[in-house]
Structure 1
Amino acid sequence: MNLKEFFLQHPRAALGFSGGVDSAFLLAMSVKYGADVQPYFIKTAFQPAFELEDARRLTRELGKTLIVIEHDILKDNEISANPANRCYYCKKTLFSVLKERALKDGYTLLMDGSNASDDVSDRPGMRAAHELEVLSPLRDCGLTKKEIRRLSREEGLFTWDKPSYACLATRIPTGTVLQREMLEKIEKAEEELKGIGFQDFRIRLFHGAARIQITEGQMKEMLEKKERIIKLLTPYFEDVFLDLKFRQSE
């Protein structure tokens, strides 16, 4: 099955939309094949502001209306306690919120942007999606992240080379209680690094300090801008470390 066939079979659906590479491509293909797919962005303390900005830009360029749902994810103790399976509880909550709103809007089918490169056994959030009968067209059609990037570029989507992004909660070690203030600090600190040209990196909490993880190709620039980086991040973290274990780009 390909996406054209999928949308012929499922012409009307609600999409959990992040503004990332995968959900952007899926929404674009739904427009291309004439399906009625409504994108929903669920805004929580885990999503940085730029993700919502990208989601709004992409939907605007595709001529779609983005529905934004505000949800206080930290009020859920199973999530804010930050257990090893936090992602399962989080996704189950978010898809439940999406399902409730989508049904009110007349959409009975839910979709997400999981692709064929995603390892189901290593993604507890995907188990939650399966339990709530959320379809994953990209994965079902065998589309990998690499193929989605290539096809997105051919379709002229600005998201084609957007770095993969995990939610802010992943920056904090398992077992450390998730607090809004710390999530905001990490978001602002990452914005500082983006502002001076860095991409595809993470700032992770390490015993109260900032641990920067970058791709190997950015090491030279990181060292050249060392003093500037320390100055930019000091308002948020007293100590700043560089992780010598490089990130792998997706």
Structure 2
Amino acid sequence: MTEAPDDMGTDAGGKVTATMSELEQAILALESVAIGFSGGVDSSLVVAVSVGVLGRENVLAVTSRSETLPAHELAAACDLAAELGVRHEVIQTRELDCDDFRANPPDRCYHCKSELWNRAGDLARRTGLRHLADGTNADDAGDTRPGTRAGDEAGVRHPLADAGAGKDMVRRLARKMGLPNWDKPAQACLSSRFPYGTEITREGLRRVEEAERYLRELGLEGFRVRDHGDLARIEVGEDSIASLAGNSRRRRITERFRELGYVYVALDLQGFRSGSMNEVL
């Protein structure tokens, strides 16, 4: 669970109210929209506000069913879409059929998002929706995000960024709206678990998904399993490092990971960092 700032429940200086107003205006200008919906807090906020200001008939949430998306994340997105009362389409994408994606270059996400937005654009045109939008927020400019370039080329709008809402503000707004995932840790597709230049394969994706499923069953949140071939490098929050290294847990994790085919199992002492594979760029 994400730790909330001490003043999460307050509206110091009316900033939360003002940002919500700007977000509503940015979305209202779209008139009708298909939104890339992952089930994370960013896209959930865009969907919830869009339904509120544009009406259900003018909003479509679009989720990609892909081998790079953990099954539990797809199920959670479908459940949340139903809870938000938004029309929801799940489209099949086949990133592994793309040689440029499978080779796992630093711009891998560009090839993935290009397919997503091409398919979502076709869907929007068939259903008479004027625009595409996503959950890119004002903080995302500080990270390596080739996927955003693919969205820009497809004309995708970024209402959160347009309203100046960074991640902390997104969580404030989501909590104010009563969204159940306001504190959900950031997620990334399974292909982000592999070093650039390592081929993305179905077998590798399944192995990482099973490894992370096991850690969730142990009660962990906010972690990643980075796949370095024979070696699995586990990133957890700094407050979880000591407990994970305890004898009982350490033996159980090592045994399970070796069953999955890893020879070495390592605990990263730097702790969990979103996008840590970008540190080599």
- TM-score band w.r.t. shorter chain: over 0.9
- Which residue in the other structure is 1:197 paired with? 219
Are the counterparts in 1 of residues 30 and 130 from structure 2 also a CA contact under 8 Å? no
Partner of 1:99: 121
Task: Look up the equivalent residue of 1:56 and give its one-letter code.
Answer: C
What letter corresponds to residue 251 of structure 2 in structure 1?
E
Contact in 1 for aligned 2:138/2:161 (Cα 8 Å): yes
Distance (Å, rounded) in 1 between the aligned partners of 2:73 and 2:132 = 21
Does residue 183 (structure 1) correspond to residue 205 (structure 2)? The answer is: yes
**2:173 counterpart (151, 158, 166):** 151
Deviation of 1:87 after TM superposition, in Å, equals 1.4
Trace 1:47-126 onto structure 2 (pairs within 5 A).
Answer: 47-119=69-141, 122-126=144-148
Q: Is the 8 A contact 2:95 2:101 kept in 1?
A: yes
1:200 touches 1:249 (CA, 8 Å); kept in 2? no
Using the alignment, how far apart are the partners of 2:169 and 2:126 within structure 1? 35
Asked if 1:247 corresponds to 2:278, the answer is no
Alpha-carbon separation, structure 2, partners of 1:42 and 1:221: 35
Provide the residue aligned with 2:37 in structure 1.
Answer: 17
Give the aligned partner of residue 12 of structure 2: none
- Asked if the contact 1:15–1:39 (Cα under 8 Å) also holds between the matched residues in 2, the reply is yes
How many residue pairs get aligned? The number is 250
Counterpart contact for 1:112–1:136, Cα < 8 Å: yes
Counterpart in the other structure of 2:253: 229
Rounded to whole Å, the distance in 1 between the matches of 2:220 and 2:193 is 17
Q: Please give the alpha-carbon distance, in whole angstroms, between the structure 1 residues aligned to 2:210 and 2:266.
A: 17
Aligned to 1:206: 228
Looking at structure 1, the residues matched to 78 and 124 of structure 2 have their Cα atoms a distance apart, in angstroms, of 19
Deviation at 1:139, TM superposition (A): 0.5
* 1:44 partnered with 2:66: yes
Match in the other structure for 1:2:
22
Please report how far the alpha carbon of residue 248 of structure 1 lies from its aligned counterpart in structure 2 after TM superposition.
Answer: 4.3
After the TM superposition, which of the residue ranges 238-247 and 11-20 deviates more from structure 2?
Answer: 238-247
Indicate the SS of the match to 2:38.
Answer: coil
Q: Give the TM-score normalised by the residue count of structure 1.
A: 0.94
Distance in 1, matches of 2:145 and 2:253, equals 33
Contact 2:68 2:189 in 1 (8 A): yes
Write the distance in 1 (CA, Å) between the matches of 2:143 and 2:175. Answer: 29
Segments of 5+ residues of structure 1 without an aligned counterpart are: none
The answer to whether the 8 A contact 1:120-1:127 is kept is no
Q: What is the deviation of 1:58?
A: 1.1
CA contact (8 A) 2:93 2:115 kept: no
CA distance, structure 2, for counterparts of residue 104 and residue 115 of structure 1: 28
Match of 1:133 in 2: 155
In 2, Cα distance between equivalents of 1:140 and 1:78: 31
Post-superposition shift, 1:116? 0.4
Any gaps of 5 or more consecutive residues in structure 2?
A: 1-20, 276-281
Alignment partners' CA distance in 1, 2:107 and 2:221: 28
Q: Are 1:142 and 2:142 an aligned pair? A: no
The CA deviation string for residues 148-168 of structure 1, in whole angstroms up to 9 with x for no partner, is: 112212222111111101111
CA distance in 1, matches of 2:138, 2:179: 20
- How far residue 106 of structure 1 moved from its aligned partner, in angstroms, is 1.7
TM-score by length of 2: 0.84
Picking from 19, 22, 28, the partner of 2:48 is 28
Q: Is the partner of 1:41 in helix, strand or coil?
A: strand
- Separation of aligned partners in 2, 1:3 and 1:84: 32
Are the counterparts in 2 of residues 163 and 249 from structure 1 also a CA contact under 8 Å? no
Counterpart of 1:238 in structure 2 is 263
CA deviations on 1:6-64 (whole Å, 9 max, x unpaired) are 23222210001101110011111112223421001011111111211121111111112
Superposition CA RMSD, Å: 1.7
Q: Distance in 1 between matches of 2:124 and 2:31?
A: 15
Corresponding residue for residue 166 of structure 1: 188
Q: Which runs of 4+ in 1 moved over 6 A?
A: none
Cα 1:44/1:198, change in 2 over 3 Å: same
